[in-house]
Chains A and B, each alone.
Chain A
């Protein structure tokens, strides 16, 4: 990752929070569980919206209405997964510092969040967007978020 971030990882590694999280196996495990619950809610809500962009599922409702209805659950999922994610980071900063999977995950996460709150938001709130644009937005959303999940799981294996 950027060399400029090295002090951040060192600082996190030496912090009180890091020592606290590492002090027992179960603290890390519980954070992983919360992280998974966040993933379920976030990706579940996004999936329903993405599939709607392809014309599957909640078809009787305009895309914009569905997007508004699901927004609160997307946000609850996002806050849960980011909060637990930051704490998981504090649980093993130096391991993550040297993990290519983590670097890829952070890059994809950054892109996914930017996309989510700019282009994706614009397309889903505009019911006059062309079906082609809807599909492109759906594919990008699926690829980015599942990419984040895939890279995240890879941290444990690679």
Chain B
């Protein structure tokens, strides 16, 4: 069923167009890569603040309110370019274990962000300027750091699928 859908998508003119043009695929891939600086690059700094490794003299809420909107915009570029890359070779992605792992990691990252937002961040006033971060914040930061690392590694590995 899912494979059929991928095959159908792969045969559309849109997908073939990206795949077979000389420049479209490389350009989208380059955008996808360089947008890492704005998405994961900034998320990493927020995570490092959560585990207490950087910007320690700034309140957590300040780091969040200033950097989160940028990271979200950067991530938007990654999602959009990522969807276009997927659309250009859905059957390859369907058969790629790395792509599957990357998607699963992204789901866990979404859950991690949601959990942090729902359960830990509401009490930020109590530890905004604390020297030691609460366990919930540290956990969310570490999970995010390691899972994003996994996403980048798996993303690169997709290109090696079948080699």
> Which A residues form the contact surface with B (CB < 8 A)?
25-26, 29, 32-33, 36-37, 39-41, 43-48, 51, 56-61, 65, 69-70, 72-73, 146, 149-150, 153-154, 157
Contacts and interface: CB of A to CB of B under 8 A. Distances in A.
B48 A153 contact: no
B44 A149 contact: no
Contact of A73 (B54, B62, B67, B70): B54
Contacts of A69: 54-55, 57
Contacts of B37: 39-40, 43-44, 46-47, 146, 149
B163 interface: yes
B40 interface: yes
Interface residues of B, number: 32
A19 to B, nearest CB: 19
B152 A43 contact: no
Given A40-B41, A46-B37, A70-B45, 11 more contacts: A33-B153, A37-B153, A40-B148, A41-B44, A45-B41, A47-B37, A48-B70, A56-B70, A57-B67, A58-B63, A59-B66
Contacts of A60: 58, 62, 66
A96 B153 CA distance: 23
Contacts of B156: 29, 32-33, 36
B78 to A, nearest CB: 11
A71 to B, nearest CB: 10
Nearest to A41: B44
For the complex of A and B, 4 pairs with smallest distance between CB atoms: A44-B41, A43-B37, A157-B26, A33-B153
A interface majority secondary structure: helix
B5 interface: no
A60 to B, nearest CB: 6
A31 to B, nearest CB: 10
B54 A44 contact: no
B157 A33 contact: yes
A119 to B, nearest CB: 21
Interface in B26-83: 26, 29-30, 33-34, 36-38, 40-45, 48, 54-55, 57-58, 62-63, 66-67, 70
